[in-house]
A and B are shown apart, each in its own frame.
Chain A
Amino acid sequence: MTLRYAYYPGCASQAITKESNDTTRKAAALLGIELCDMPAANCCGAGLLKDYDYMLHLSLNARIFSQAEKMGLDILTICSTCLMIMRTANDDMKRDAGLLEKVNRILFEAGLEYKGTIEVKQLLWVLKKDYGLERLKKKVTRPLDWLKAAPFYGCHSLRPSSALGFDDPENPSSLEDVLRSLGAAVVEYGGRTKCCGFQADLVNLDSAVALTADRLLDAKNNGADCVVTPCPFCHINLDNYQAMAEKKAGTKISLPVFHLSQMVGLSMGMTPVELGLHRHLVTPKNV
């Protein structure tokens, strides 16, 4: 049976990390996963709208959900922050019927309604559970057996576990499982569940890049050739801000950072251009 999802790439993956969206679309076609576009979907707010107005944050997320509900599909996103924001909003409304009622009174003004029936998933979860690792292994034509990858979950794939709940936040395994299925070796290191610093980039850049540097060095010192993340924001900090992190740490790091979708694509024979690798700031030529 073909898997079908309402596809929500998120704002970052439609602009600054466009390569993640492009690769996901091509890889999904190769895997036989159908991604149905949501041209009217708005931004989830990335938490910033929660810092602005809680009811607005809920209502705008409910607007996204109501579109998926009309399509009769669950949402698939390739952004961990979208995942966390959408799942916590959905969880808040599903737990509290009174709250959902309040949101629907706001949506009513725009002629919309959310019944509370859809789920939000991310690519990582879909690959592991819905698609299945055995099926994924069969699709691999060029195993990544030459690669030692450091899995970087980032915060919003794991926490809060009350609303996310796919992986154990202390000892997650889905990213390792998927990478191993693609043939890669995985590196163990403590930083995999920690924060890349992204959300403080524009407020306290110094702190943000200190965290970025720490995670990258942790991965590198444990023998990684590269870092793989399911989150575009983690990619922004680990890749685009790596030069600043190197300056902060006072040492060269030169660790390429890949989107999860690029690893999947690569293992199925997609070319570097198709994967958009030229768009990375840290060149992956060495791996």
Chain B
Amino acid sequence: MRIKIKIKRCDPIKEGACAPFWQVYDVLATEDMTILDALMKLVSEDDPTIAFRKSCRSAICGSCAVSLNGFPKLACSTLMLPEYRKAGKIELAPLSNYPVIKDLVVDFDRFWKKMEGVTPYLTPSSGSVVTVTGEDEAAIDRSQKCVMCGSCNAVCDSEEADSSFVGPSASAKAWRFAGDVREGYKTKRLEKLSNSHGVWDCVRCVHCTEYCPKDVSPLEAIERLRSEAVKEGVTDNHGAKHVLAMAESVKRVGRLDEAAMTFKTLGFLRSFGMIPFGIKMELHGKMPHPIIFPAIDNIEEVRTIFEATKKKKKD
């Protein structure tokens, strides 16, 4: 069947800067045609000026990620007609959250800098021999599958708001090494990742895990980095304090005590800054009143579960 493909293009050499425009192409689509097949056909038969990246054509090299109908996909492993039927259109654009070089080619400079920033190699402590069990390996296994296609950073909502955010791809790589039992600088890594623009800035939009073509689940890596940081006592930051306040609140009353949590997370001085907001909330009857926070029924069960979890870990 013949379908229309819209490609978001820009030609900085001609225009002096990347001024994007949409160009429509007509393609004879077959059932077995991938997005990359279609692009290669267009370049060889219709328009040799379309720029895009590709290499292995087998979803291993991670070169060909593009935005398809608004969501990042590997062009080589995405069949075109099912996507066309689902959305009623095929719109190809460069990945979001990256500067565009030309057409579908984006600048990965920031991506690589973030990778370098998490020291992506193992640094064992000297002298000791560590045995790696299957369970140890399984804990970091998903992070090792990353092909660095950059899809996760492209859909990350934290990255959208703050380009300095460490990002899902570098977080997954960070867990690959911080979670390795042979690593000698685990705590140091966790400290660095707990700084501003670090793993606590993740808004848990779950985009990274949803759109990773390799099932890396960067969000899981971020959650593991966070819980390891808390366990290692790297807690002098709002994110970790928030988590500790939550655990304390659930253990005490079985649920979330909003006022106490804000206070414990932000500390005295920053909570002070929230007072005008609090007054506004109070006027609308929205201010949570901690004193009238009754515990849930059978709260002892919750406390027993807290103790039992801790005990089972030691066994």
Complex Cα distance, B71 from A190, in Å, reads 11
- Whether B70 lies near A42 (C-beta < 8 A) is no
Number of interface residues of B (CB under 8 A): 65
Given contacts A52-B244, A60-B305, A207-B203, contact A11 B158 (CB under 8 A): no
At the interface, yes or no: B230 with Cβ under 8 Å from chain A?
yes
Interface centre among A45, A160, A170, A202 (most CB of B within 10 A): A202
Within 8 A of B (CB), among A98-129: 102, 105-107, 109-112
Stretch at the interface among B37-45, B99-107, B258-266: B258-266
- Whether B296 lies near A195 (C-beta < 8 A) is no
**Min C-beta distance of B282 to chain A, whole Å:** 11
Chain B contacts of A48 at CB under 8 A?
A: 242-243, 246-247
Interface SS of A by simple majority: loop
Chain B contacts of A110 at CB under 8 A?
A: 300-301, 304-305, 308
Stretch at the interface among B19-27, B119-127, B183-191, B284-292: B284-292
- Whether A155 lies near B206 (C-beta < 8 A) is yes
- Whether B304 lies near A43 (C-beta < 8 A) is no
- Whether B309 lies near A194 (C-beta < 8 A) is no
- Whether B203 lies near A197 (C-beta < 8 A) is yes
Complex Cα distance, B227 from A45, in Å, reads 13
Within 8 A of B (CB), among A34-83: 39-43, 45-56, 59-60, 63
- Whether A55 lies near B86 (C-beta < 8 A) is no
Complex Cα distance, B128 from A224, in Å, reads 63
- Whether A199 lies near B296 (C-beta < 8 A) is no
Complex Cα distance, B157 from A256, in Å, reads 23
- Whether B226 lies near A56 (C-beta < 8 A) is no
Given contacts A51-B227, A106-B312, contact A208 B305 (CB under 8 A): no
Chain B contacts of A251 at CB under 8 A?
A: none
Chain B contacts of A199 at CB under 8 A?
A: 202-204
At the interface, yes or no: B280 with Cβ under 8 Å from chain A?
yes
At the interface, yes or no: A140 with Cβ under 8 Å from chain B?
no
**Min C-beta distance of A39 to chain B, whole Å:** 5
Chain A contacts of B262 at CB under 8 A?
A: 202
Specify the chain A residue showing the minimal Cβ separation from B228: A51
CB 8 Å contact bits of A154-185 with B (1 = contact, 0 = none)? 01100111000000111100000000000000
- Whether B230 lies near A16 (C-beta < 8 A) is no
At the interface, yes or no: B223 with Cβ under 8 Å from chain A?
yes
At the interface, yes or no: A84 with Cβ under 8 Å from chain B?
yes
At the interface, yes or no: B161 with Cβ under 8 Å from chain A?
yes
- Whether B207 lies near A159 (C-beta < 8 A) is yes
Chain A contacts of B17 at CB under 8 A?
A: none
At the interface, yes or no: A252 with Cβ under 8 Å from chain B?
no
Interface centre among A42, A46, A60, A243 (most CB of B within 10 A): A42
Complex Cα distance, B302 from A111, in Å, reads 11
- Whether B210 lies near A161 (C-beta < 8 A) is yes
At the interface, yes or no: A204 with Cβ under 8 Å from chain B?
yes
- Whether A43 lies near B256 (C-beta < 8 A) is yes
- Whether B280 lies near A200 (C-beta < 8 A) is no
At the interface, yes or no: B201 with Cβ under 8 Å from chain A?
yes
Stretch at the interface among A143-151, A257-265, A276-284: A276-284
Given contacts A15-B288, A112-B301, A204-B162, contact A160 B309 (CB under 8 A): no
- Whether B209 lies near A159 (C-beta < 8 A) is yes
**Min C-beta distance of B172 to chain A, whole Å:** 15
Complex Cα distance, B289 from A15, in Å, reads 9
At the interface, yes or no: A287 with Cβ under 8 Å from chain B?
no
At the interface, yes or no: A33 with Cβ under 8 Å from chain B?
no
Which 9 interchain pairs have the tightest Cβ spacing?
A: A159-B206, A195-B205, A40-B297, A207-B161, A11-B256, A195-B157, A109-B308, A48-B246, A51-B226
Q: List 24 A-B contacts (CB under 8 A).
A: A15-B256, A39-B296, A40-B297, A42-B296, A43-B255, A50-B227, A53-B247, A59-B309, A60-B305, A63-B305, A105-B312, A106-B312, A109-B308, A110-B300, A159-B207, A161-B210, A170-B87, A199-B202, A202-B262, A202-B265, A203-B239, A204-B201, A207-B201, A211-B161
Residues of B whose CB lies within 8 Å of any CB of A are 69-71, 86-87, 157-158, 160-162, 165, 196, 200-207, 209-210, 223-224, 226-227, 230-231, 237-239, 242-244, 246-247, 249-250, 254-256, 258, 262, 265-266, 280-281, 284-286, 288, 296-298, 300-302, 304-309, 312-313
